[in-house]
Amino acid sequence: MTIAIIGGAGFVGTRLVSRIATSAIEYSIFDIDQSKLLENMIYLDVEDPESLDKIGGATSIINLAAVHRDDVRPLSRYDDVNVQGAVNVCDAARKHGINNVVFTSSVAIYGFAPADTDESGEPNYFNDYGRTKYLAEQVYKEWQAEDPDNRTLVIVRPTVIFGEGNRGNVYNLLKQIAAGRFVMFGNGKNRKSIAYVENVSAFLEHSLSFDPGLHIYNYIDKPDFDMNTLISGARKTLFGKTNVGLRLPGFVGIALGYVADLAAMIIRRPLPVSSIRVKKFMGTTQFASSVSDTGFVPPVSLEEGLARTLRYEFMEDNSDKRTFETE
């Protein structure tokens, strides 16, 4: 088996490469971002069909390449990279006789979904990222359906991914806690589905062994923590304390969010607090998954993944290490 890891210099990609590098699997790393060059990385642009000829000789593709940040401009970049990129990857797979593709999609295709939405959930995306991930899935499904007895397609829909070096929503929350600036709004009983990067990369590696067919999985590390458990666990690791700290009623948080919205309008720039962010923080974002049906066992518990991240980011000096912006 020879794997072409597209987007291999990103947050999940680098973790996946570090795992596969210890195995007997042959692999090549492809990425467009030359500022993150790994020693053996090959430049590749999924928007350029000729560039994709570089994956010739591979037997499997893991495609991690995507445009995902909220501030992407122009908005057409979502379609150019996420959708047309998928078309180009499938064309390259056809051209080079590659019959095994793993595609990282996202639970963003479900939008504001009911609690415990599983892989059969209806698409209800609310942004361009979710929309284009859903459209990309359809492109890959069409490719697999052309030769269903021989082609393997694994679509992995991770929830919010966190871990060492990531600069996304979970990091921002943990940073507030570590700085002593966190305030809990509401009763904290709302649950959040999250995923540790080591476990996501381990499942991507595991999925390379699947038989021909279409395989779709949400990826979540279980059990889902409620906010009380997440915050108290973080405070225990950081400070040896097991409470959540300052707590205010939910309506106070929402009111403060509206004040922040008004202030942002006046000063004409976004603030880290908003009414939407407060509502999202207080809401439940919980998904179900059939990953365990594949026999996969996450190598790291969710509790340990959070503890490792907290130690790396706030208790050790890793200022010289790479970081990955994902929000």
Q: What are phi and psi of 93, to 5 degrees?
A: -65, -40
Give ∠ CA 224-226-228 in degrees, rounded to 5: 145
Contacts of residue 297, defined as CB under 8 A and 6 or more positions apart, other chains included, come to none
3-class secondary structure, 30:
strand
| DSSP E strand stretches across 32-147 | 41-43, 60-63, 100-104
**b/e map 44-79, b = 16+ CB within 10 Å:** bbbeeeebbebbeebebbbbbbbbbeeeeeeeeebb
Is position 129 annotated as part of the catalytic site?
Answer: yes
CB 201 within 8 A of CB 215: no
Q: Of these residues, 27, 78, 129, 219, which one is catalytic?
A: 129
Determine the Cα–Cα distance for residues 103 and 157; give it in Å rounded to an integer. Answer: 9
**314: nearest Cα among 198, 179, 154:** 179
Active site members: 129
